[in-house]
Structure formats: C-alpha cells, structure tokens
Amino acid sequence: MNWRKVRTFLFTVLALCLIPATRYYQVDEPLLRFLRGSLHVDPLSLHLSGEFVENNLGTELHADGSVTVRMIAEQYLFVPHCILVPAGVPINLRITSADAVHSLSFEGTEYAVKTLPGTISKAELMFSKAGKYKTVCREFCGPGHYAMRSELKVVPRDQFPALRPEERGNCAAQ
C-alpha cells in the first residue's frame, strides 16, 4: 500500500470536512430553521401581510418595558433606515430578508445577525450605553453591498419616547 497516497487522501477528506464545519453556524443554522418550517415567512409578500408590513417595522415597546425591533434587509438597505432603542433594555430583534443573504452587524459590538429570505432570524441584543451605532451588512450581497448601511440610535431609557401600542419608534420621529 502506498502510505503517501493514503495520507494525501485522508488530509483531503479532512480539509473538505473542515470547510463546511467552520461555516456551520453562519450559513447552515438559518437554513436548518428554514427547513424545519418554524419562523417561516414568505419573502414575496412581506409588505402585504404578516408581521413585517411597513407600519409594524421599527421599535415596539411592550407594556412590561421590553422591546421588539422588526427589520427587513434587502438589496441594498435595511428597513427602517434608522432605529431608535432605549439603553439598558433587552431588545428582541426579528429580521428577515426580502432577497439575498445579508448580515446585520453593529459597528463596535460583537452582534451580527445573518438574514435569509424565507426565514425570520431572531437575536437578543442589549446596548448599555447611549450613542449612535453604524449598522452595516457583513455578507457580500451584490454590487451595492458596500453602501448597505444604516444607523441605530440608543437613547437613555428615560428619554425614550412613550409609544402608544400601535406606534413604532424610529429616528425620524426624534
């Protein structure tokens, strides 16, 4: 038996296995959720029905003080373009994509949320300090990818506007 050939073969198999293994949490996790059927959403009718209709996007303040943020990522912007959230409050982010795979990240933080058309990505975020965070797409999604950025504005909790149940917070209202 030619040990050198066997060794080369085994190394090749190992290397090929390692590539998907390192990408698993980035790509396959939303894909698996999608295949499991939970958190499924139709990317073609986001603006027509369901939780991602336009007047449901942005920051929603619940009676218990918790916050839900709903967003859509699409080539080449995040909707809403500017989001307002209170500091020091856990934020439930729910985001989906209308077209390609994107990744919403907040500069200066570890947060990065991959979005995939057809599935809702969920994340728990918290911003302890007030300030502005640039939000950028970290997944190459086409020629306009590098212009895909928006903003998150964190304001002290007591300065966060008291929203009526049907209202959504965004920077334009500031």
Binding interface with Cu ion (CB under 5 A): 137, 141, 145, 148
DSSP label at residue 48: T
Q: Dihedral sign, CA of 53, 55, 57, 59?
A: negative
- Total length of the chain: 174
Minimum CB–partner distance for residue 148 and Cu ion (Å) = 5
Which amino acid does the sequence have at 78? F
Nearer to Cu ion, 88 or 142 (CB): 142
Question: Considering the complex, what minimum distance in angstroms separates the CB of residue 133 from Cu ion?
Answer: 17
Cβ neighbours for 123, distance < 8 A, ≥ 6 positions apart: 92, 93, 95, 111, 113
Q: Which residue lies nearer to Cu ion by CB, 61 or 148?
A: 148
Residue with tokens 């209709």: 53
Residue (41 or 73) nearer to Cu ion, CB: 73
Nearest approach, Cβ of residue 20 and Cu ion (Å): 22
Q: Are strands 82-86 and 58-61 parallel, antiparallel or unpaired?
A: unpaired
Answer for the pair 93, 122: CB distance below 8 angstroms, yes or no. Answer: yes
Closest to Cu ion by CB, 60 vs 74, is 74
Give the nearest distance from C-beta 75 to Cu ion in angstroms: 8
